[in-house]
């Protein structure tokens, strides 16, 4: 059975059959009609070839998880020959795209910024329909995405220009950043436009060509993106897109590519890392998270409670970098729980297309079922539901009430697994050492939060937590100039900032004497 290469493999669901009237117009192009074997990675045997038909499923049907899975539209699933043709074209284009130079590449890509601004309402509504994200959050997402896009346009040349590392008389040592080549970029659905921008635009600016696959949960957003990129009139092969589920992703990464750029689950990320190792190509992997927030007894709870709510329940809790485990000093445990309960119970769960809605639906029925099973496991092992813990009775679709769980132990799935939904597990600690031990008691290491008025203690604890990003008190690492990535099972490599740009390059040293 082939490995399913999805952008968040726990959310795989072919929920494709119904319509609400919008299908982006796009010319798909086509394959060459050539038939070929898929050289893929198999759970047993690792690396043999297996013949696949030239086509996978015919159609990918997009449904609305907030409207009882009614159909929105459909796209054609990419055939094996089409995937091969697009990778071939990307490889044909990479030399000329590299030789164009960074100034000209930025010039060709920059009009996309105004395209997004012009079609913002259309983009936002489609995102809301496809993944159940509240429309107010979708609006904020696009604004935020554009700040990253503008940063890439304004700063990439500075960070990818040649550097002089040594100069002595006629001796000059120079570091040069060169493109890696053809990139297979696979991204998830939870920030549909942002994930595309992060996985594609820096690669194009750096001089790489990209074959892109969006999540099967938002294929119409993927189509809209392809339509908009086509209006840039980039040279053939510089950017192309394929559509489908894990089988399409598997086919893509097993083609003649030079870099795998992936955001998604740790399980799939590890499989992709195996493929990259066998191909001896680089992989940049931003994977799952189970971020702790450590709250010491000297905090002002009124000052931090809104941030804690936002950090857990944004996007219905479907954020890799969200706070998923709250580690609270025992002396303020009850107060923190009660204050968060008040906030949660004041929020409106409902139709994400309405501006008054605070929390929409989960992305898919399968994700709802996974979340229900995680909460059930916790309750069976002694967890107490403070609020939520179930589906709202009046709503049809992938809805789950925002939930607080206490009486947590470390054998529960909500503690051991990534929880991708509106469920917050809260546990108490007595000492600083215990807080650090609880924070690090996870296979993940994407991010963490530390709350204390004692700055020395906050910095000491931040240094001890095994994670790629730490927010202290009101701090927020989400700026495009900062690197993003994790420790342990949360990934390899970094995105964003100069570090993320340079990850996309071959780094060459030229010493002249």
Q: What is the C-alpha separation between 30 and 102, in angstroms, rounded?
A: 30
Beta strands 291-295; 323-329: pairing state: parallel
pLDDT of residue 46: 26
d(CA 360, CA 365): 13
Active site members: 286, 320
Q: Is the pTM of this model over 0.85?
A: yes
Per-residue pLDDT of the chain (513 residues; tens, 9 = 90+): 333 334 333 333 332 232 223 333 333 333 333 222 222 332 222 232 333 455 556 899 999 999 999 999 999 999 999 999 999 999 999 999 999 999 999 999 999 999 999 999 999 999 999 999 999 999 999 999 999 999 999 999 999 999 999 999 999 999 999 999 999 999 999 999 999 999 999 999 999 999 999 999 999 999 999 999 999 999 999 999 999 999 999 999 999 999 999 999 999 999 999 999 999 999 999 999 999 999 999 999 999 999 999 999 999 999 999 999 999 999 999 999 999 999 999 999 999 999 999 999 999 999 999 999 999 999 999 999 999 999 998 999 999 999 999 999 999 999 999 999 999 999 999 999 999 999 999 999 999 999 999 999 999 999 999 999 999 999 999 999 999 999 999 999 999 999 999 999 999 999 999
Q: What is the pLDDT of residue 2?
A: 36
User: Residues 51-78, buried b or exposed e (16+ Cβ, 10 A)?
Assistant: ebeeebeeebbbbbbbbebbbbbbbbbb
Nearest to 318 by CA among 414, 213, 423, 390: 423
Give me Rg for the CA atoms of the chain: 23
The DSSP bridge partners found for residue 75 are 60
Q: What are residue 495's DSSP bridge partners?
A: 484
pLDDT of residue 32: 31
Of the candidates 475, 477, 473, 476, the residue with the CA atom closest to the CA atom of residue 295? 473
Residue 56 has a pLDDT of: 56
Q: Which CATH number applies to 9-287+491-511: 3.20.20.70, 3.10.180.10, 3.40.605.10, 1.10.357.10?
A: 3.40.605.10
The yes or no reply on domain 291-481 and CATH 3.40.50.300 is: no
Q: Residues 483-499: pLDDT tens digits?
A: 999 999 999 999 999 99
Give the model's pLDDT for residue 42.
26
Q: How far apart are CA 26 and CA 58, in angstroms?
A: 17
Q: Where exactly are the structural domains of the chain?
A: 9-287+491-511, 291-481
| Helix or strand run (H / E) with residue 92 | helix 80-100
At 224 the three-state DSSP class reads: helix
* Among 488, 504, 487, 508, residue whose Cα is nearest residue 496: 504
The CA–CA distances, whole Å, from 253 to 45, 59, 95, 402 equal 18, 21, 20, 37
Contact 286, 77 (CB under 8 A): no
Backbone angles phi, psi at 262, to 5 degrees: -135, 135
Identical fold for domains 9-287+491-511 and 291-481, yes or no, is no
Q: What is the rounded distance in angstroms from the CA atom of residue 45 to the CA atom of residue 49? A: 10
- pLDDT value for 58: 85
pLDDT in tens, 354-388: 999 999 999 999 999 999 999 999 999 999 999 99
What is the length of the chain?
513
Which pLDDT does position 55 carry in this prediction? Answer: 54
For 108, residues 6+ apart whose C-beta sits below 8 A from its C-beta are: 100, 232, 234
Q: What is the pLDDT of residue 399?
A: 98
């Amino acid at each position: 059975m082939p490995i399913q290469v999805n952008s968040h493999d726990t959310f795989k669901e072919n929920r494709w059959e119904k319509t609400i009237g919008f299908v982006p117009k796009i010319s798909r192009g086509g394959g060459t009609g050539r038939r070929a074997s898929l050289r893929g990675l198999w759970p047993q045997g690792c690396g043999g070839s297996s013949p696949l038909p030239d086509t996978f499923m015919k159609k990918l049907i997009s449904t609305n998880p907030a409207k009882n899975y009614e159909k929105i539209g459909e796209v054609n699933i990419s055939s094996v020959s089409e995937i091969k043709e697009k990778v071939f074209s990307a490889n044909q284009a990479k030399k000329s795209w590299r030789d164009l130079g960074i100034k000209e590449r930025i010039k060709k890509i920059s009009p996309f910024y105004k395209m997004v601004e012009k079609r913002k309402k259309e983009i936002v509504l489609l995102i809301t329909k496809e993944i159940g994200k509240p429309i107010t959050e979708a609006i904020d997402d696009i604004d935020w995405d554009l700040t990253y896009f503008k940063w890439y346009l304004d700063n990439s040349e500075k960070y990818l220009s040649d550097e002089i590392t040594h100069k002595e008389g006629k001796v000059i040592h120079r570091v040069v950043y060169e493109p890696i080549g053809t990139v297979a970029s696979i991204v998830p659905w939870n920030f549909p436009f942002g994930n595309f921008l992060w996985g594609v635009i820096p690669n194009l600016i750096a001089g790489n060509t990209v074959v892109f696959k969006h999540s099967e949960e938002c294929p119409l957003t993927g189509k809209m993106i392809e339509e908009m990129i086509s209006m840039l009139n980039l040279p053939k092969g510089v950017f192309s897109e394929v559509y489908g589920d894990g089988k399409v992703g598997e086919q893509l990464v097993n083609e003649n590519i030079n870099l795998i750029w992936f955001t998604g689950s740790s399980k799939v990320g590890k499989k992709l890392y195996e493929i990259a190792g066998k191909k001896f190509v680089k992989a940049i992997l931003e994977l799952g998270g189970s971020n702790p927030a450590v709250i010491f007894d000297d905090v002002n709870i009124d000052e931090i409670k809104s941030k804690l709510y936002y950090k857990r329940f944004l996007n219905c809790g479907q954020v890799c970098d969200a706070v998923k485990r709250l580690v609270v000093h025992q002396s303020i445990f009850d107060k923190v729980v009660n204050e968060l309960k008040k906030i949660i119970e004041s929020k409106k769960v409902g139709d994400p297309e309405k501006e008054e809605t605070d929390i929409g639906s989960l992305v898919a029925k399968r994700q709802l079922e996974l979340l229900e099973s995680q909460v059930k496991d916790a309750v069976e092992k002694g967890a107490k539901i403070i609020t939520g813990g179930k589906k709202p009775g009046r709503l049809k679709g992938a809805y789950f009430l925002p939930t607080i769980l206490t009486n947590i132990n470390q054998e529960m799935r909500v503690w051991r697994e990534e929880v991708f939904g509106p469920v917050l597990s809260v546990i108490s600690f007595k000492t600083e050492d215990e807080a650090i031990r609880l924070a690090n008691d996870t296979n993940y290491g994407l991010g963490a939060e530390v709350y204390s008025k004692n700055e020395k203690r906050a910095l000491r604890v931040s240094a001890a937590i095994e994670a790629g990003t730490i927010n202290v008190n009101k701090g927020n690492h989400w700026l495009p100039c900062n690197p993003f990535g994790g420790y342990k099972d949360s990934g390899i490599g970094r995105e964003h900032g100069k570090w993320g740009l340079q990850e996309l390059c071959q780094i060459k040293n030229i010493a002249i004497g």
